[in-house]
Structure 1
């Protein structure tokens, strides 16, 4: 039986301690209310611009593309500190995490010049159009259609028709990266193409989807013949599946898959909760962090550790829910979003978001299928 790909425990390069200290100093002076799951629920465009001004967005993009030429491990340090503090990073999150690298690897020079500088400055936000109604995490079942059109007042291009759901931050985004089926009758993993759709756009309707708390983070995005010129096709037509699976390594393996409830864990420690329960959680967190660092190291070497990333996401999101259960058992507080007690507020935020932990970025069942294929048993 084939073994899993090698994944060395991650180690941070020299100099990251100073970088970590600078981020902590910035956070100590910044004005924001910490919250759980801040990479999804905490959007503050001004905070995003402040990070961009300090060189903490587009860190891994090369200087020729307007980035800072830093390593994925240096970016890991910055992200880890922002998430541990519960900082409001949701506005720029998708653009910085996966759209920037995808534009770098698949975009045309014109696309890179148009979008990457704004991403690096924290002024250009993206949404991702992947999930669809009744499809769950089965990306290969995409039904949004892209139909070729030539001539006319807009020139050559494509018209998109279909619906995307659970589209985080689409109401704030300046563009959405859409996966659509561009070849009728193609095999499930073939005939898919990615399209960049600037927002707002004719033929695109964004409707809010309220969460259990009544907050607005998700959206339904409907495409009704929206036109996309050839110049905004990302990569090659028909190559969308390869591009998307490469992006998912960035989406599934980062510290956000471990730290969505870290604020709650920290508050439990400050409250003096059961040290045995805290010890068990912290030991798990440390092991998961080493695995996540290992994936970041593999990305730094130019590899695409999709199987390892799936493992990190599966284990990490289950750990995040275990933190909530420990808080319920040991916090001595009830979830209350309006409470003056920060622990009660954090617990309320975490409880509401928890149902999505093992769904977003691919359900755990889908992820285990990826691991099974990597082992050669499926």
Structure 2
């Protein structure tokens, strides 16, 4: 599986410089996603009757690992393949499975997730976006923020309130499939420090939803989104976000006429941390294979993995600073600059560090 995938990626991204590949699952390339779908690398855990490959979670881990290590721009299909397909498969109706899963598996149907809201951050239980029942279905009003690539995607799975108020916390929450081209939906990209715009804010003004837009049961949204986040927080993207920069630095080390002990020690340290985190991520995958919902374990991987990813640009900068006269390739400089700028966001996406540690503390009985 690895070798044919590497060949496919070489044909598609061979000309991409490292600073572009460093964006990886923040890089949007619909043609690559469709090529991956046509080659059978998407929908790996989805049954064949819905267009999937009917393989296991380990196969998907291998594919995700190869894509991220290569720095492939996979944002187009990433969220849909990683979690939206699983959510629809496990909680959706047969009509929803038939409608959306084949397109996801082909790399042609793209989803974003609408969880965070202004003033709520990662406190999902306090969402205020609301869907009211009508004779025709539901009427949606509210706002979502930090929604990845909503400006490019066709659909959003939104966590909204269908009863009660934000004071009711987890009660009264539901999930809906929202067509982002529907009247009343406004998407505004958010330009970040690097000049990219992979986040967006989304506004809903009297958006009419059909009855079949509801995923699962009304009011069951909290349990569904909790299970969904285990897929988001446990994968290899939580440890490989800075891997292209790490590879660039290692390539630079090979050009040095001599290596000091500090550089060698740092390389050993980062390699050991990466190996340990990868083993932890695989362990969470094994729990998913067994049909469990490893929320606490996935939160641990995400928290520790984020810290590792964020440390890489800082540690590499310090290492390079010890020998300021050593010539650096422009590609390494650009890649280091990009990852340094984007790394602070690693601890925001998929749940902030504070929220994750609260989940872990509750799981350990500490709060």
Length-normalised TM-score, structure 1: 0.90
1:340 Cα deviation from its structure 2 partner: 6.9
Is the Cα–Cα contact under 8 Å of residues 124 and 174 in structure 1 kept in the other structure?
Answer: yes
Matching residue of 1:253: 234
Q: Is the counterpart of residue 118 in structure 1 residue 103 in structure 2?
A: yes
* Paired residues of 1:94 and 1:127 also in contact (CA < 8 A): yes
Structure 1 residue 369 and structure 2 residue 351: aligned? no
| Pairing partner for 2:314 from 322, 325, 334 | 325
Which residue is 2:161 aligned to?
Answer: 181
Distance apart, 1:331 and its partner CA: 3.5
Equivalent of 1:243, from 210, 224, 238? 224
Partner of 2:256: none
Q: CA deviation at 1:30?
A: 2.1
Aligned to 1:311: 300
Aligned counterparts, 1:199-238, within 5 A: 199-238=180-219
- Please name the residue that 1:342 is paired with: 331
Say whether 1:44 aligns with 2:29: yes
- SS of structure 2 residue aligned to 1:205: strand
Q: Where does 1:26-45 land on structure 2 (aligned, <5 Å)?
A: 26-31=8-13, 33=16, 34=18, 35-40=21-26, 42-45=27-30
Are 1:264 and 2:245 an aligned pair?
A: yes
* Counterpart for residue 22 of structure 1: 4
**Cα offset for 1:199?**
2.3
Deviations 1:176-220, CA, capped at 9 Å, x for gaps: 111100002372011000010112110100011101122111111
1:331/1:21 CA distance change after superposition, 3 Å: farther
Aligned counterparts of 2:196 and 2:309: Cα–Cα separation in 1: 21
Select which of 283, 286, 291 maps to 1:302: 291
The answer (yes or no) to whether the contact 2:164–2:171 under 8 Å persists in 1 is no
Residue 351 (structure 1) shift? 1.3
1:25 Cα shift?
Answer: 2.1
What displacement does 1:27 show? 1.9
Q: Which residue of 2 aligns with 1:77?
A: 62
Deviations 1:272-292 (A, max 9, x none): 171211110110000000000
Q: Distance in 2 between matches of 1:221 and 1:29?
A: 35
Deviation at 1:109, TM superposition (A): 0.8
SS in 2 for 1:195: strand
Q: Which runs of 5+ in 2 are unaligned?
A: 254-258, 323-327
Task: Find the aligned partners of 1:285 and 1:358 in 2 and give their Cα distance.
Answer: 17
> 1:87-128: CA deviations, max 9, x gaps?
010111110010000000011111111110000000000111
> Is the contact between residue 65 and residue 104 of structure 1 (CA under 8 Å) also seen in structure 2?
no
Shift of 1:326: 1.5
Alpha-carbon contact 1:37-1:353 (below 8 Å) kept = no
> Residue 169 of structure 1 is aligned with which of 139, 144, 149?
149
Aligned residue in 1 for 2:173: 192
- TM-score if structure 2 supplies the norm length? 0.92
Distance 1:265 1:340 in 2: 14
Supply the distance in 2 between the matched residues of 1:115 and 1:349 (Cα, whole angstroms): 35
Secondary structure at the residue paired with 1:216?
coil
Paired with 1:198 and 1:148, the residues of 2 have a C-alpha distance of 17
Contact 1:24 1:81 in 2 (8 A): yes
Deviation at 1:332, TM superposition (A): 5.8
Contact 2:306/2:347 (<8 A) preserved: yes
Q: Distance in 2 between matches of 1:294 and 1:248?
A: 16
Maintained 8 Å contact 1:271/1:331: no
Judging by fraction of residues, say which structure has more helix: 2
In the alignment, the residues of structure 2 paired with residue 113 and residue 340 of structure 1 have an alpha-carbon distance, to the nearest angstrom, of 50
Partner of residue 282, structure 1? 271
Paired positions, count: 350
